[in-house]
Amino acid sequence: MGHRRFGGGADTTHPRRLYRPLSAHSACGTVRSRSSREGHGNGYATYSARQQRRSAHDGRDPGRRGRRWAMKAPGAAEFVPEGADLARLRQAACHCRGCDLYQHATQTVFGAGPADADVVVIGEQPGDQEDVVGQPFVGPAGRLLDRALAEADIDRDAVYVTNAVKHFKFVERGKRRIHKTPGRTEVVACSAWLDAELDLLRPRLVVCLGAIAAQAVLGPSFKVSAQRGEVIEADGYRVVATVHPSAVLRAPDRAEAYAAFVADLRVVRAQLGKSAAAR
Ligand code: SF4
């Protein structure tokens, strides 16, 4: 199928006053000053073994692709420590300079949840509130996700949530920071972190929220609109793609969009029930 496993937040309309020092919950500890965000001096990454493995899934030539990446973004691979557990990965990700997004965001927002999670939910990128707090899915979209998971009878405490891209990409409009969709270069640059998370977690199901997450995992030609709510076998995982909860919040008929979102999550719940019965 050519599916790769590897791209939510879109809490985009919060005023600039939220751009303030981190809470005690931040994995990255302290807010870096603007000057410390500049001049990382790490150079561009060489093409790693991990990246070569991913290219093998794509059936593409890794050398050519590596050179193309090197021109656009160094990629996160050189910042991912070998053999690290989740806690060490999270710390290491605080220092990632794999693409330019770290320069303007407050901090890296790494995944969160139990190391033995049954389900990994992948969004697009942290939103404004997540960027400030340093935790994924803590804004309005995250609250909607929590509600929908509960309605679908999925134990939120058994879910690990993360994003395809670990830094907030935005444009400033006056005092507001408006979400900007990450490009393919940034998704690919950041994929080493998602790779490492999934390698450690080995979840029973992967849930992709929105096109960026789905394409990061299932390949750039995947269309959520065509295959949402289906169970797809890809790269050793069962994957279900659905819309991002921020799309539900923006939908003209929010009740209808929410019901469809919960219906997709019920597919996930049914799969969890099946795999529990098979064990
Ligand atoms: S978005 Fe990903 S690759 Fe880019 S700097 Fe942040 S953690 Fe690194």
What is the side-by-side strand order in the sheet with 237-242?
A: 159-163, 119-123, 205-209, 237-242, 231-234
Q: Which position has the higher pLDDT, 5 or 226?
A: 226
For the entire predicted model, the pTM comes to 0.79
Cα atoms in the 13 Å half-sphere on the side-chain side of 276: 8
Question: Does residue 243 sit in helix, strand or coil?
Answer: coil
> How many angstroms does the Cα of residue 168 sit away from the middle of ligand 1?
9
Q: Verify whether ligand 1 is closer than 6 Å to residue 92 (CB atom).
A: no
Closest C-alpha residue for ligand 1 atom 4: 99
Q: Verify whether ligand 1 is closer than 6 Å to residue 27 (CB atom).
A: no
> How many angstroms does the Cα of residue 216 sit away from the middle of ligand 1?
14
> Which atom, in ligand 1's list, is nearest to the CA of 105?
6
- Within 8 A by CB and 6+ apart from 174, the residues are 16
> How many angstroms does the Cα of residue 166 sit away from the middle of ligand 1?
6
Task: List, for residues 197-251, the tens digit of each pLDDT value.
Answer: 999 999 999 999 999 999 999 999 999 999 999 999 998 999 999 999 999 999 9
Closest C-alpha residue for ligand 1 atom 6: 167
The pairing of beta strand 237-242 with beta strand 231-234: antiparallel
Task: List, for residues 100-110, the tens digit of each pLDDT value.
Answer: 999 999 999 99
